[in-house]
A and B are shown apart, each in its own frame.
Chain A
Amino acid sequence: MSSHIVSAFDQDLGQLRNLIAQMGGLAEDQFAKAIEALSRSDRTLAERVIAADEKIDHLEKEVEENAIKLIAKRQPMATDLRAIMVAIRISSDLERIGDLAKNIAKRTLAVNEPLPRSVNAGLNRMAEMALEQLTDVLDAYASLDTAKAEEVWKNDSRIDALYNSVFRELLTYMMEDARTIGMCTHLLFGAKNIERIGDHTTNIAENIHYLVTGGILDDRPKEDNTSLTPVEARTAK
Chain B
Amino acid sequence: MDAAVIDVQQQYKTVMTPAEPMIMKHGKPKIVTEDVTVHYGDKQAIFPLNIRIPDRAVSAFIGPSGCGKSTFLRCMNRMNDTIPICRVGGRITIDGQDIYNPDLDVVQLRARVGMVFQKPNPFPKSIFENIAYGPRIHGLARNKTELEEIVVGSLKRAGLFEEVKDRLDAPGTGLSGGQQQRLCIARAIAVNPDVILMDEPCSALDPIATARIEELIDELRQNYCIVIVTHSMQQAARVSQLTAFFHLGTLVEVGDTEAIFTNPQERRTQDYIMGRFG
Contacts and interface: CB of A to CB of B under 8 A. Distances in A.
Interface residues of A, number: 18
A214 B276 contact: no
With most chain A CB atoms within 10 A of its CB, the pick from B1, B237, B273, B275 is B275
Contacts of B122: none
A75 interface: yes
B275 A214 contact: no
Contacts of B234: 75
B277 A2 contact: yes
B264 interface: yes
Contact of B273 (A2, A78, A82, A213): A78
A2 B275 CA distance: 10
Given A2-B271, A214-B1, A215-B1, A78 B263 contact: yes
A233 interface: no
Interface string B242-278: 0000000000000000000111100000110111111
B274 A78 contact: yes
B276 A4 contact: yes
Interface in B1-52: 1
B261 A77 contact: yes
Given A78-B270, A214-B1, A215-B1, A2 B262 contact: no
B180 to A, nearest CB: 28
B233 interface: yes
A4 B274 contact: yes
Nearest to A3: B276
Nearest to B260: A78
Given A214-B262, A214-B263, A79 B274 contact: yes
B242 to A, nearest CB: 17
Given A75-B234, A77-B261, A81-B262, A2 B1 contact: no
Contacts of B273: 77-78
A5 B264 contact: no
Contacts of B237: 77
B253 to A, nearest CB: 12
A77 B274 contact: yes
B262 A5 contact: no
B100 to A, nearest CB: 36
Contacts of B271: 2
A1 B276 contact: yes
A78 B275 contact: no
A139 interface: no
B276 A5 contact: yes
A10 to B, nearest CB: 9
With most chain A CB atoms within 10 A of its CB, the pick from B1, B270, B271, B274 is B274
A4 B276 CA distance: 4
Given A78-B261, A78-B263, A215-B1, A2 B276 contact: yes
Given A75-B234, A78-B270, A215-B1, A9 B262 contact: no
B277 A78 contact: no
A81 B258 CA distance: 12
A77 B243 CA distance: 14
Contacts of A3: 276
A178 to B, nearest CB: 58
B183 to A, nearest CB: 30
With most chain A CB atoms within 10 A of its CB, the pick from B261, B263, B278 is B263
A80 interface: yes
Contacts of A9: 275
A81 B261 CA distance: 9
Interface string A44-81: 00000000000000000000000000000001111111
Contacts of A6: 275
Nearest to B277: A5
A77 B257 CA distance: 12
A4 B277 CA distance: 7
Interface string A1-19: 1111110010000000000
A110 B264 CA distance: 53
A80 B234 CA distance: 14
Nearest to B232: A75
B262 A82 contact: yes
Given A75-B234, A78-B270, A2 B261 contact: no
Interface of A: 1-6, 9, 75-82, 213-215
7 contacts: A1-B276, A77-B262, A77-B274, A78-B261, A78-B262, A79-B274, A215-B1
Shortest 6 CB-CB distances between A and B: which pairs?
A: A2-B278, A214-B263, A77-B273, A2-B276, A77-B274, A4-B276
Given A78-B274, A81-B262, 18 more contacts: A1-B276, A4-B275, A5-B275, A5-B276, A75-B233, A76-B274, A77-B261, A77-B262, A77-B273, A78-B261, A78-B262, A78-B270, A79-B270, A79-B274, A82-B262, A213-B1, A214-B1, A215-B1
